[in-house]
């Protein structure tokens, strides 16, 4: 007798609504099938109020959150809170790849300038060019601000990856003709790291970027 007649179709074991939820969770980055199942089971045993609050929060993400027309960071008003803050230094713009990069810098409490979120990095092999990012919007923004402010500093804070470096060099090349100061965030050893575990490129950048104590 063929073995496959003993196989059980498990696809219909769970209710359709549960399977649908697991499938949607599985589409999220970093969530595998097992994690998706655990999340679904957790919500299944959660009180209705928690599920309702979660649903409202997800809907609010799309209904209430917009992109700032100046820096392209997420906000609930336009322009965003940072762009409209008169206490921020309008002479400095920190260019980052993603929203969470700006969030990480803001958490330090050290930076008091403005931001510009590119929403990615140049990657020709993946078909990501300047048109897919907010690079041209950055150039237009700098030209507009340049008519109002005498000297602008652009901090290129893209990631220290091949794509991040390519993006930084592309932006730098197209800003050389403008009257702006271009700086790049320092790269080197992480706090608490050991020299013996650092790669050659990181050590090289750390040595070249050393400062006086």
- Domain edges within the chain: 13-50, 88-208
Q: Rounded to two decimals, what is the model's pTM?
A: 0.80
Per the listing, tokens 């970027």 go with: 209
The Cα–Cα gap between 114 and 96 comes to: 11
Whole-number pLDDT of residue 1: 47
Question: Which one of 3.40.50.2300, 1.10.8.420, 1.10.1270.20, 3.40.50.1000 gives the CATH number of domain 13-50?
Answer: 1.10.8.420
Same fold yes or no, 13-50 and 88-208: no
pLDDT digits (tens, 9 = 90+) for 164-189: 999 999 999 999 888 899 999 888 77
pLDDT digits (tens, 9 = 90+) for 124-168: 999 999 999 999 999 999 988 876 667 899 999 999 889 999 999
pLDDT of residue 31 exceeding 70: yes
Classified by CATH at the fold level, domain 88-208 comes out as Dna Topoisomerase Vi A Subunit; Chain: A, domain 2 (3.40.1360)
pLDDT digits (tens, 9 = 90+) for 67-125: 999 999 999 999 999 999 999 999 999 999 999 999 999 998 999 999 999 999 999 99
Cβ(122)–Cβ(132) below 8 Å: no
């Amino acid at each position: 007798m063929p073995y496959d007649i003993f196989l059980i179709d498990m696809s219909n074991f769970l209710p359709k609504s549960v399977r649908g939820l697991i499938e949607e969770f599985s589409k999220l980055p970093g969530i595998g099938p097992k994690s998706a199942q655990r999340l679904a089971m957790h919500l299944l045993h959660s009180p209705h109020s928690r599920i309702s609050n979660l649903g409202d929060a997800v809907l609010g993400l799309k209904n209430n959150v917009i992109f700032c027309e100046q820096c392209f960071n997420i906000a609930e008003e336009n322009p965003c809170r940072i762009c409209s803050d008169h206490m921020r230094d309008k002479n400095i713009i920190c260019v980052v790849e993603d929203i969470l990069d700006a969030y990480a810098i803001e958490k330090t409490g050290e930076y008091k300038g403005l931001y510009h979120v590119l929403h990615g990095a140049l990657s020709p092999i993946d078909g990501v060019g300047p048109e897919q990012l907010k690079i041209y919007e950055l150039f237009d923004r700098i030209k507009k601000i340049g008519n109002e402010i005498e000297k602008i500093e652009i901090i290129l804070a893209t990631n220290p990856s091949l794509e991040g470096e390519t993006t930084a060099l592309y932006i730098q090349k197209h800003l050389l003709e403008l009257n702006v100061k271009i700086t790049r965030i320092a790269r080197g050893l992480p706090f608490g790291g050991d020299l013996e575990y650092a790669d050659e490129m990181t050590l090289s950048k750390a040595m070249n970027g050393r400062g006086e104590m």
